[in-house]
Amino acid sequence: MQQGIIQGILLGSAAGLAIAIASPAAAQQTSQPAEASARALVNVDVEAQELDTALKLFARQSGADILYAPDLVRGRKTDGVSGSYRVAHALTRLLRGTGLVYREVSHNVFALRVPAAANAEQSVDGAAAALSGRVVNASSGAGLPGARLKVAGTPLETITDQDGRFHFPSVPAGEPEIWVEYLGQPPQTVVAPSDSQERRDFAITVGQTADQIVVRGFRGSLARALNQQLNAANNTTVVSSDLLGSFPAETVSEALRRVPGVAFGRGDDTGEGSRITVRGFSSEAINIQLNGLELQGTGFERTIDLSGFLADNISQITIHKSLLPSHEANGSGGLVEIETKSGLDYGDFQFSLGLEGELGFDRDFGEEYQVNAVLAKKLTPSFGVAATVQYRKTDRLNYDAGISDYLPPVLPDGYNYIFYVPASMQFPFDDAMSGRLINGANYSRRTREEENFTASFNAAWEISDTTTLRFDAQRIQVDQLTNTARTTASFLTSAIDMPIPELDGEVRRRQVLASLRPNLALNVKDIRTTQNTLSLRGTTQLDRWDFKYKAGYSFARSKSNNANLSALGNTQTSLGAIIDPDTGVVHPDGDGASRFVDGAFVLAPNGLPIPSLTAFGFDLLNATSEYNLTSANRTITNSPTESYILEGSARYLSQSGLLDYVEFGAKYDRSSRKSADDLFASTSVGSLASIESYLRVFGKETGLDYFGEGLASSLALGDIGAGGLTLPFLLESSVDRIFEILPSLTQDDPSTPFDEQRFNYTDTRGLDPINDPGALTPARTKEERLAAYIEGKVEFGRFDLVGGVRMERTTRSGTTLSTPSVRTADNVVEPRETFVGAGLVEFSELAGTQTTWTPSALLNYRPVDNVVARLSYNRTTVNPSLRLIRRPRAIHIDLRPTQNRVILREANPDLKPTTTDNYEFDVAYYFRDTPGLVRAGVFYKTTSNNFTNVFFNDADDGSVRQEVLDYFGDLATARPELVAFDDGTQFLRNRPENGEGGKIYGFELELIRQLDFLPGFLGDFGVLGNLTYTKGDFPTLVLGRNDAGDPETFSIDRALADQAAWVYNASLNYQRGGFEGRLIYTYQDASVKTFEVHGLDTIEPDYATLDLRLSYDLPISFGDLTVYLQGDDLLRDSDEPSLRSAVSSQFNDGPADFFYPGNFQFTGGRTVTAGIRARF
């Protein structure tokens, strides 16, 4: 090996001359390492030192011959290189910063020289010129984002954007050499053209054959994602299209739960993923954008339901965990950018068609199928269009079961109601009474028919070498018809003071079973949700200036028509004949009477509550003739949201000295929301106001059998592990039949001796909300935001600092109905008509403006190009709840001597947004030869104005007096008794205010590694794992009583709602040839839902899934074919429930350890999906 070095020194001059006069064609040919050299890995360890010494050591360690002239390296130093690399890659790293490059003149023989760009500057008189172009996949022509480009012999470098485009404002004249680095590929050198016209659109290809860059599949998609993450200015996680598709998931939220830092929330009715949380912040605190537009919820909801976003139409998803000034500030949980595919992403032409079907191992739970198609065409080399369409049809059956209980069934000594027990007393109040009394169980049978239609169109136009435009249009429409039949088997209870045997006969207040009172209910929800977005985006590069501009429009609507029926069973008090004597627990009360204190329910092996009844008891439960219709109503929702945005930025690229760039930007957006009703504008049907309702006349019972036969059916529940249990359920067909007959039961026929009226009918559709308090009250909210920012980047050595500040000025206004009410000193309630006549019942608008400043500073340290350490600080916000902005305004005057107060209840448009100061440190090592990384990071967040902890205290405010007098105006003069305030009158203002802030902290660990260092087929495996721990400490307001027995609001330090402490994924993947497989296990820890002052918190328990996806690509003469098989939730049988809520001690500080399941959900357990996709 020493001989090779000596030969190199002796022959250096001749070799340098030969290389210098080599033709450009030959230079390009020899710049590519031989295949064997490109694939050979060597271990090198060369410290920073004189280049001459380092080269000799490198040659000995690598086995390579290095040719150079002694004068060429004299005085030059290297930063060294250490690790396992291909020889060419290692040599590139060794020469970095030395001003030299190499040519591989033969196998494993490398000659050094000064790059052509440096020679040109020294010997050729020519002006520098811009260099722009695109880095593309050699086999597909698709752009490669995140590639790093450096101009040899200069400090100039840049990163390709999402389309693979790059731009140098000024590159030395001549034919400079460009170093191109892309994770998973050996570094390569290309020669840029000298002609200024050719420099405007210079294409650089990476990889020479299809097997060097995997066009589709996990590894190729992972490389695309990791290159962007490595070279990003902030901490991001990128999930590109094929990577998204390699996760067993159908919707975006289900796929994103595999990403570090992300947990997901399941829909209450379906159990499927519908929303995400990031680092402890719920979905309301996450900014989600589609093609550059912030998505809007409907009604009061800021949460974006992601269940309608199908994964097949997405190019990539980027989760920004630390935000730059150029990002939206309202993302304390993060910014999620969803990008659909561009018309230039598919090559010259592509048509693809996919079809898949899913069913469970237990086919009773339904099925699902999906079809999708893509048509893309480059109409010219610079203009492409793409259209996609996806249709998914779902027919599902699932069951819910819930427990009704008293916890505890025995109260502490001296207390008759639990809400009088002081907060200082924590459950269990008595060690011997830590159990509960189950007095009821409800079973819901839910059928869901859903059609999901997604269509998109994209036109991408590279107008010139300096300007690109992109237009995106997308529509998502979800039609869902859900029928939920609920049967409740419950016992009414009584509170009795009686001896407690478990407490040695001490007399306490105890809940006992009194009578059986079952109930049947049916809810039909027919809802359509639409999301339409239009966006036009463009970029222009003029010399050292980069301009970006964007305009967009989005419209979303949630609209539903719903029906509800409820029927009560006849009360049965003969508990001895109803409850199974083998399980019933009977104790005597103080008078010797027998009381049932437990045993009406038993638990199945899967935890499901089962009524423990006699045959007579089950007969009563299933006899539909024993049920009487009590109510029937119809409800609606209609909540449209509309928004517009206009945004632009200008970036000046300095590329000289410390300053890399400085950027200025501004944005204007306006959104407006409407709702059919201000109090009940949500899709939670149970809380909606009725548009028409039938309520029974008390004492006049109408049995279900009056409306005909076949309204209900007794169904066995063996599918959910309740073998032998049969219960009655109302059928969907009963809705029309009952509503058809009900009008005949709302009036008495005076010609008969009977009173035929059995129901009171109310129709609110024609009511005026000003005249009638029962009318629907439409509401509107508008938000208008103007934002501006400045952002800059400076570089010094291996460090770069990106920072700046963003200003957002937001005006929020809400239209609400103002209504006064007066009770005079003589205890006379003034009728509403008085205030209507005086014009005091009116729609009014409240508005407020807030200005926020959100600074950011992100320091990146790159000791080597595949290692990055990030230290960041940035401030973010969370928008306040819309419900609090348009809360109805009400003035309550009560002048009775015992009260004598005035309360003004109103919205608070000046409600401050939650602000979060985010601190983060993150270190990542990216593997060079195959896509992968090892990453560890910690984060710490402090918040103020906590949006999750709003309080409504009545606060003394003397200004309310004059405000009320001004509001009453002439009526105060005409009717002075209505405002007869005296010196003792108390004036209170009730406005929502955000609670105290808190903190969230935690850490993330991540590993992605291809095991190609293992022998044989083992080298085709790869592993993916990530773990996130999140700890929250927030003062949470809980109502209770102090030791004196007075009501008090207590502040206790707890985690945020929906915050899971531990979330992790572990995955094993295998890829060889056209086959790819992935097995992934996901775990999500429990999260709290509500806190209770005695420690009886309601939580959503932890859950885990095991999923598998197998696929095989079959090349065909006119395209390729992919077949795949997917298994979801493989650990769960159909009769194994997913526990959705429980009362637990997990999140409180008490010494007791308890867990009481509350709600069970059965979705069918494991499912299998088979599909096929053809690409032409």
Last residue of a domain, one of 736, 764, 792: 764
**Alpha-carbon distance 1004 to 539, whole Å?**
35
- Predicted confidence (pLDDT) per residue in 624-681, tens digit: 889 999 999 999 888 899 999 999 999 999 877 789 999 999 999 999 988 887 754 4
pLDDT of residue 208: 56
Domain for residue 312, yes or no?
A: no
Task: Please tell me whether residues 702 and 587 are part of one structural domain.
Answer: yes
**Alpha-carbon distance 885 to 813, whole Å?**
7
- Number of helices (H) and strands (E) in the chain: give both, helices first: 18, 63
C-alpha angle with apex 263: 306 to 553, nearest 5 degrees? 30
Burial classification of residue 973, based on how many CB atoms lie within 10 Å of its CB (0-12 exposed, 13-18 middle, 19 or more buried): exposed
Is residue 190 within 8 A of residue 205, CB to CB? The reply is no
Name, of 104-108, 114-118, 836-840, the range with top average pLDDT. 836-840
Which residues is 455 bridged to in the sheet?
A: 389, 475
Burial classification of residue 167, based on how many CB atoms lie within 10 Å of its CB (0-12 exposed, 13-18 middle, 19 or more buried): buried
What one-letter code names the amino acid at 1080? I
Burial classification of residue 764, based on how many CB atoms lie within 10 Å of its CB (0-12 exposed, 13-18 middle, 19 or more buried): middle
Q: How confident is the model at residue 15 (pLDDT cuts 50, 70, 90)?
A: very low
pLDDT of residue 255: 75
Domain for residue 681, yes or no?
A: no
Is residue 63 within 8 A of residue 1, CB to CB? The reply is yes
CB half-sphere exposure, 500, CA atoms < 13 A: 19
Name, of 61-65, 952-956, 980-984, the range with top average pLDDT. 980-984
Report residue 361 as tokens: 């191992």
Task: Please tell me whether residues 110 and 121 are part of one structural domain.
Answer: no
List of residues 6+ apart from 935 with CB closer than 8 A: 260, 922, 923, 924, 925, 1004, 1005, 1006, 1007
What one-letter code names the amino acid at 1126? Q
Is residue 518 within 8 A of residue 627, CB to CB? The reply is yes
Other beta carbons less than 10 A from residue 41's beta carbon:
14
The range of the structural domain enclosing residue 373 comes to: 342-455+482-525+563-629+689-764
Is residue 556 within 8 A of residue 298, CB to CB? The reply is yes
Last residue of a domain, one of 764, 786, 810: 764
Q: How confident is the model at residue 214 (pLDDT cuts 50, 70, 90)?
A: very low
Task: Please tell me whether residues 82 and 140 are part of one structural domain.
Answer: no
Task: Please tell me whether residues 100 and 155 are part of one structural domain.
Answer: no
How many percent of the chain have pLDDT more than 90?
50
pLDDT of residue 394: 93
The closest alpha carbon to 98, from 170, 15, 158, 154, belongs to 154
- Predicted confidence (pLDDT) per residue in 117-136, tens digit: 444 333 334 567 888 888 98
Indicate if the pLDDT at residue 580 is higher than 90: yes
pLDDT of residue 35: 41
Last residue of a domain, one of 741, 764, 787: 764
DSSP E strands in 503-658: the ranges are 506-516, 519-542, 545-569, 585-588, 594-598, 601-603, 609-611, 627-653
Report residue 501 as tokens: 């045997």
- Predicted confidence (pLDDT) per residue in 271-289, tens digit: 676 677 787 777 778 888 8
Report residue 877 as tokens: 């916000």
Domain for residue 708, yes or no?
A: yes
Mean pLDDT computed over every residue of the chain: 86
Which string of b and e fits 790-828 if b means at least 16 CB within 10 Å? ebbbbbeeeebbbbbebbbebebbbbbbbbbebbbeeee
Indicate if the pLDDT at residue 399 is higher than 60: yes
Domain for residue 638, yes or no?
A: no
pLDDT of residue 879: 82
Is residue 562 within 8 A of residue 526, CB to CB? The reply is yes
pLDDT of residue 310: 63
- Residue written as tokens 């570090």? 260
pLDDT of residue 453: 92
- Predicted confidence (pLDDT) per residue in 746-792, tens digit: 988 888 877 889 999 999 988 898 988 888 888 888 999 999 999 99
- Predicted confidence (pLDDT) per residue in 934-951, tens digit: 999 999 999 888 766 666
**Alpha-carbon distance 590 to 1069, whole Å?**
68
How many percent of the chain have pLDDT more than 70?
91
Domain for residue 677, yes or no?
A: no
**Alpha-carbon distance 614 to 600, whole Å?**
10
Task: Please tell me whether residues 185 and 138 are part of one structural domain.
Answer: yes
pLDDT of residue 385: 95
Task: Please tell me whether residues 39 and 178 are part of one structural domain.
Answer: no
Domain for residue 394, yes or no?
A: yes
Task: Please tell me whether residues 97 and 142 are part of one structural domain.
Answer: no
Q: How many domains in the chain?
A: 3
Lowest-pLDDT range, 407-416, 508-517, 808-817? 808-817
Q: How confident is the model at residue 9 (pLDDT cuts 50, 70, 90)?
A: very low
pLDDT of residue 153: 76
**Alpha-carbon distance 311 to 334, whole Å?**
20
**Alpha-carbon distance 715 to 127, whole Å?**
85
More confident residue, 23 or 484: 484
Task: Please tell me whether residues 127 and 150 are part of one structural domain.
Answer: yes
Indicate if the pLDDT at residue 218 is higher than 70: no
Q: What's the 3-state SS for 662-730?
A: EEEEEEEEEEEEEECCCCCCCCCHHHCCEEEEEEECCCCCCEHHHHCCCCEEEEEEHHHCEEEEEEEEE
Indicate if the pLDDT at residue 1165 is higher than 50: yes
Name, of 33-37, 47-51, 83-87, the range with top average pLDDT. 47-51
Indicate if the pLDDT at residue 822 is higher than 50: yes
SS3 132: strand
CB half-sphere exposure, 251, CA atoms < 13 A: 23
The domain that holds 172 is classified in CATH as 2.60.40.1120
Report residue 1060 as tokens: 């899971």
List of residues 6+ apart from 830 with CB closer than 8 A: 821, 822, 823, 824, 978
- Predicted confidence (pLDDT) per residue in 897-912, tens digit: 999 999 998 887 777 8
What one-letter code names the amino acid at 813? S
- Predicted confidence (pLDDT) per residue in 181-198, tens digit: 888 788 888 888 887 777
Taking residues 866-891, what's their average pLDDT?
86
The closest alpha carbon to 887, from 681, 637, 671, 1090, belongs to 681
pLDDT of residue 28: 32
More confident residue, 84 or 533: 533
Q: How confident is the model at residue 1075 (pLDDT cuts 50, 70, 90)?
A: very high
Task: Please tell me whether residues 26 and 91 are part of one structural domain.
Answer: yes
Is residue 445 within 8 A of residue 715, CB to CB? The reply is yes
The domain that holds 90 is classified in CATH as 3.55.50.30
Is residue 994 within 8 A of residue 912, CB to CB? The reply is yes
Domain for residue 494, yes or no?
A: yes
Indicate if the pLDDT at residue 843 is higher than 50: yes
List of residues 6+ apart from 852 with CB closer than 8 A: 329, 807, 808, 810, 877, 913, 915
Taking residues 1135-1141, what's their average pLDDT?
93
Lowest-pLDDT range, 23-27, 97-101, 367-371, 430-434? 23-27
Domain for residue 596, yes or no?
A: yes
Task: Please tell me whether residues 143 and 75 are part of one structural domain.
Answer: no
- Residue written as tokens 């060597």? 42
Task: Please tell me whether residues 187 and 82 are part of one structural domain.
Answer: no
Task: Please tell me whether residues 431 and 486 are part of one structural domain.
Answer: yes
Q: How confident is the model at residue 308 (pLDDT cuts 50, 70, 90)?
A: low
